[in-house]
Amino acid sequence: MPVLHNRVNNEELKQLMLSEKEPRTTVSFYKYFNIADPVAFRNENYIKFNELKVFGRIYIAHEGINGQVSVPAGNYEAFKEALYAAAPELNGVRMNIAVDDDGKSFWVLRMKVRPKVVADGIDDPAFDPSKTGKYLKAKDYNELAEKPDTIIVDMRNHYEYEVGHFERAIEIPSDTFRDQLPMAVDMLKDKKDQNIIMYCTGGIRCEKASAYMLHNGFKNVFHVEGGIIEYARKAKEQQLPVKFIGKNFVFDERLGERITEDIIAECHICGKPCDTHTNCANDGCHLLFIQCPECAAQYEGCCSESCMEEKNMSPEEQKALRAGRENGTMIFNKSKDHPLRKHREEWKAEQLKRQAEHEQ
């Protein structure tokens, strides 16, 4: 029987990917449609995609498929044909090609069966995710967004919104997509007759969100076709004004693709303009945060002095320190209550103290 999962050390796979000579294309895709047997669908297509050296993440559920992958340039057309042939509903499915791509986004293929491709918390049997709002292409988005009574809604998490978003977009301040859905309905309950545009990274979250808004009585709901990725690519191809400012956060090794040169976020330690996400270099933390080059050097890629100290301990000391401690809970911090905000205030106070001592 063919191997249906990776058996090679993860670090070895990463090094193999980095040593490849052929360029790769990073692409995302999704489709809501009924998959009767997700496990069989997964196993059959894992074999095909693995043979084409596809890397990345693909989630499969009864409600459809969601994937972010990188493909060797020479295999891209073959991969498209294999994906299109996987089910009649996937024939011609939109492929969102990355805007700012070095092809080094993934190094292993992971295909997982899940209860849903996007966890939404919806248990209403009458809800139909296929009954979505109207698609907006880049030109249509720009025109509708110019109208003063149009409401633009970002359906991503705070750490995504923080580094880049559409002009005039409002944030739904919740920690998870499943909490954002009812919150969006409540926040906009008095706007049911206005034009509402929803958007996300690649389209999958805002498409379901648009269906949920229609399900709750909203009349004029739109969503950006292909999300930020497709919008940015088409706007640049067609030489349209780009209404997205800053960086688009992506869930792969890149952690972001630049859309415009605007830097709208700050280093979470010192507050300097910066939009570079990184994971804390301490293996017992790995917090996702924004760090400028100066702080990266000062803290050796860590989020705090305590993490830097822990990182520099012997393996035995680190292991003893982490015994019984839950690690990794803040890898993707989804709220505004980021643990480094307090640290940043302490850092500023320390800098002011040192400056005062120097001037005396």
What are 254-266's pLDDT values in tens digits?
778 899 999 999 9
Tell whether the model's pLDDT for residue 217 goes beyond 50. yes
Residues 6 or more apart whose CB falls under 8 angstroms from that of 241 comprise 142, 235
Tell whether the model's pLDDT for residue 206 goes beyond 70. yes
Q: How confident is the model at residue 348 (pLDDT cuts 50, 70, 90)?
A: low
Print burial letters for 103-124: b (CB count within 10 Å at least 16), e (below 16). bbbbbbbebebeebbbebebee
At residue 60, the pLDDT reads 96
What separation, in Å, do the N-terminal and C-terminal C-alpha atoms of the chain show? 76
SS3 148: coil
At residue 157, the pLDDT reads 87
Residue of 174 and 355 predicted with greater confidence: 174
At residue 334, the pLDDT reads 43
Residues 6 or more apart whose CB falls under 8 angstroms from that of 355 comprise none
- For the chain, domains (ranges, CATH) are 10-113 (3.30.70.100), 134-246 (3.40.250.10), 265-359 (no CATH)
With vertex at residue 248, the alpha carbon angle to CA 100 and CA 108, rounded to the nearest 5 degrees, is 65
Structure tokens given for 139: 């030109």
Strand partners, 154: 171, 199
**Residue 294 to residue 342: CA distance in whole angstroms:** 19
**Residue 139 to residue 53: CA distance in whole angstroms:** 35
Residue from 311, 305, 275 nearest 293 by CA:
275
Catalytic residues: 200
Section 169-189 average pLDDT: 91
The label of the residue with tokens 């980021």 reads: 338
Beta pairing class for 277-279 and 257-258: unpaired
**Residue 280 to residue 229: CA distance in whole angstroms:** 27
At residue 1, the pLDDT reads 44
Beta pairing class for 164-166 and 244-248: antiparallel
Residue from 124, 108, 99, 349 nearest 216 by CA:
124
Helix (H) or strand (E) holding 72: strand 64-72
**Cβ of 98: how many Cβ atoms within 10 Å?**
23
At residue 293, the pLDDT reads 96
The CA-atom distances, in angstroms, between 111 and each of 7, 42, 56, 193 are 14, 7, 8, 41
Whether 265 and 275 have beta carbons less than 8 Å apart is answered as yes
What are 59-97's pLDDT values in tens digits?
999 989 999 999 999 999 999 999 999 999 999 998 988
At residue 102, the pLDDT reads 65
Q: How confident is the model at residue 274 (pLDDT cuts 50, 70, 90)?
A: very high
* Averaged confidence pLDDT in the chain: 85
Least confident of 118-127, 241-250, 307-316: 118-127
Least confident of 6-20, 73-87, 128-142, 221-235: 6-20
At residue 331, the pLDDT reads 44
Least confident of 56-60, 117-121, 205-209, 238-242: 117-121
Beta pairing class for 109-113 and 96-97: unpaired
Q: How confident is the model at residue 333 (pLDDT cuts 50, 70, 90)?
A: very low
At residue 224, the pLDDT reads 95
At residue 149, the pLDDT reads 94
**Residue 109 to residue 53: CA distance in whole angstroms:** 8
**Residue 94 to residue 117: CA distance in whole angstroms:** 17
At residue 259, the pLDDT reads 92
pTM, entire model? 0.74
Tell whether the model's pLDDT for residue 284 goes beyond 90. no
Residues 6 or more apart whose CB falls under 8 angstroms from that of 249 comprise 156, 159, 160, 163, 164, 201, 255, 256, 277
At residue 332, the pLDDT reads 46
At residue 335, the pLDDT reads 45
At residue 319, the pLDDT reads 85
Section 32-38 average pLDDT: 92
Tell whether the model's pLDDT for residue 114 goes beyond 90. yes
